[in-house]
Amino acid sequence: GSLKWCYDSQDPKCGPSHWKELKATCGGDKQSPVNIDRRWLQRDGSLGDIIFEGYDQAPPGKWRLLNDGHTVMLSLESEPGAEHIAISGGGLPGRYRALQLHFHWGSLSTNGSEHTVDGQQLPMELHIVHINVKYRTLGEAKGHPSGLAVLGCFFQVSEAPNSNYNTIIGGLRNISHAGQAVDLASTFRLGTLLPHVAQLSRYYRYQGSLTTPDCSEAVIWTVFEEPVGISREQLQAFVSTVHFPASGAAPLKMTNNFRPPQPLRSRKVFSSRD
Ligand code: B30
Ligand code: ZN
């Protein structure tokens, strides 16, 4: 797509409040992210454990990390024959294959996430994007309310660095400029990026959209309750290393690449546990 959208930190004239002028869907009734108000959660006993396939093995090939101009993205599409990474269960209507993961972050440790909990923003949020295996392309999946399933993980500042993020963070210096990509030095088990296994059964679930234009309302959202710990220095590596596409003279640091919470309207947010 060639939609001229951006974040306010780049230029308020093309920031999130203007996206609906480019794409009417961005002003729709089922937009993401949302504030998760814990007072209004609806317990859904049918939301059992998510089944993770391939999250436990490091894939044999290389993984490519990309600065796509608005986020840092790791492509997870496996070459034919390679191990497939997928999720199912957890109330999802089928099996979903992993496409990519990416991050949204702030400029201070007090902002950065897209979803908020009781009005509180966390410093960063990871999204792992999956496509319903019954659709062949992203374009096709975007036309269906259960076409995509995104897993969202919050981060919180921890004293100790989180070594599970060393490979990704180590790659950032090579994708400082928009359009740059790097093959990571090593692969790793995707599951190591998630909260502790024992906490993965605690999540929020609601029906929403992509959080960037075209804002397709095609996403079953799963947001884990438990944040992942990451040190201040590791967070700072995102803030200070990666840049938005150069528009003026000096390249602009990639910060605050999050969309603010959108109206919940008639939707409910469900929780898997009390
Ligand atoms: S999110 O998880 O809701 N933030 C896309 C996938 C997930 C989310 C947002 C967008 C997506 O696939 N967008 C269309 C393709 N993108 C590439 C990309 O994956 O993100 C092209 C683009 O935007 O122009 Cu960068
Ligand atoms: Zn995202």
Beta-carbon count within 10 A of 59 CB: 18
- pLDDT at residue 143 in the model: 98
Select from 210, 219, 221 the residue to mutate for testing ligand 1; criterion: most ligand atoms less than 8 Å from CB.
Answer: 210
176: left (phi over 0), alpha (psi -120 to 50) or beta: alpha
Return the ligand 1 atom nearest residue 152 CA: 2
Select from 76, 129, 130 the residue to mutate for testing ligand 1; criterion: most ligand atoms less than 8 Å from CB.
Answer: 129
Residues of the chain above pLDDT 90, percent: 89
Assign 51 a pLDDT band (cuts: 50, 70, 90). very high
The residue assigned the tokens 């001229």 is 4
Extended beta strands in the chain, E state: 35-36, 42-43, 50-53, 64-67, 72-75, 86-89, 96-105, 116-117, 124-132, 148-157, 181-183, 203-208, 219-224, 228-230, 270-271
Residues of the chain above pLDDT 70, percent: 97
Task: Tell me the CA–centroid distance for residue 167 and ligand 2, in Å.
Answer: 20
Return the ligand 1 atom nearest residue 150 CA: 2
Whether this prediction's pTM lies above 0.95 is answered by yes
Ligand 1 pocket residue status of 262, Cβ below 6 Å: no
User: How far is it, in rounded angstroms, from Cα 229 to Cα 126?
Assistant: 12
Task: Tell me the CA–centroid distance for residue 45 and ligand 1, in Å.
Answer: 31
Task: Tell me the CA–centroid distance for residue 70 and ligand 2, in Å.
Answer: 10
56 preceded by a cis bond (ω within 30 of 0): no
CA-nearest residue for atom 5, ligand 1, is 210
pLDDT tens-digit readout, 55-100:
999 888 889 999 999 999 999 987 665 668 999 999 999 999 999 9
User: How far is it, in rounded angstroms, from Cα 238 to Cα 115?
Assistant: 19
- pLDDT at residue 80 in the model: 65
User: How far is it, in rounded angstroms, from Cα 69 to Cα 73?
Assistant: 10
Please say whether the beta carbons of 89 and 48 come within 8 A.
yes
Q: Supply the residues annotated as catalytic.
A: 70, 135
Q: Can you tell me whether residue 150 is helix, strand or coil?
A: strand
Strand partners, 222: 151, 205
For 117, the token pair is 């909990």
Q: β-strands 64-67, 181-183: how paired?
A: antiparallel
Assign 249 a pLDDT band (cuts: 50, 70, 90). confident
Say whether the ipTM exceeds 0.90.
yes
